[in-house]
Amino acid sequence: MPEVIAGLEIPGTAAVAEATRLVRDTTSSLIYHHSRRVFLFGLLHAHQLGVTPDPELLYLAAIFHDTGLSTPFSGVEQRFELDGADHARKFLLDRGFSPAAAERVWTAIALHTTPGIPGRMAPEIAATYLGVLTDVVGFGRDELEQDQLSEILAAHPRGDFKNEFLRTYVEGLKNRPETTNGTVNSDVLEHFIPGFQRTTTVERIVGSPWPS
């Protein structure tokens, strides 16, 4: 019997079940519930846009998208989005998914904090990004059916999401602050870490080794 929340079906595949267990066991309940809401909100956005993402790939992108916050370094120091994307791609390839499918999930995760671009890409990439926007900053919230919204939040409650998510965000980034330059992530460190100053693009251009 498939799991259905707010009329939206959770894919009943072995990969989805395994990824769900993995994220529940290795991250926090905050990240787990957030990631499931991202999938559900992403599906709703896809329906509104009239596009049809592969539900399994969308779920895997959503469930892994913030795992990089709890694994600060994946062998090399890099953006947390890349940690999650690399982890997800390996998970898919190790389980026989095609390179194209693994790359689509990788891209959805790698770009999920990049404004403007993912929303115009493949359905799984766009839906992941829009689902993140809805859960984190409330994008499109007022356009959702209230009964559906209530059922999603009953299944995956927010709790003190704003404060807990920001704490998790800072914890995942504070040991690699340089990776946040040029991204929305630098805003978080600038707000919470005393003395942190991001390197601006103007500073990089003016300070480059070119004489003019």
Q: Is it the case that residue 2 has pLDDT exceeding 90? A: no
Taking a C-beta distance cutoff of 8 angstroms, is the pair 80, 68 a contact?
yes
87 pLDDT band, cuts 50/70/90, is: very high
What is the pLDDT, as a whole number, of residue 199? 87
Interval 130-168: pLDDT, tens = 999 999 999 999 999 999 999 999 999 999 999 999 999
d(CA 158, CA 147): 16
Percent of the chain exceeding pLDDT 90 equals 92
> How many Å apart are CA 134 and CA 132, to the nearest integer?
5
Q: Report d(CA 172, CA 131) in Å as an integer.
A: 21
Quote the pLDDT of residue 61: 98
Q: What is the pLDDT of residue 200?
A: 87
Domains of the chain: 4-158 (1.10.3210.10)
- Residue 46: count other Cβ atoms within 10 Å of its Cβ: 21
Structure tokens at 145: 């059916």
Say what angle helices 146-155 and 29-49 make with each other, to 10 degrees: 160
pTM above 0.85, yes or no: yes
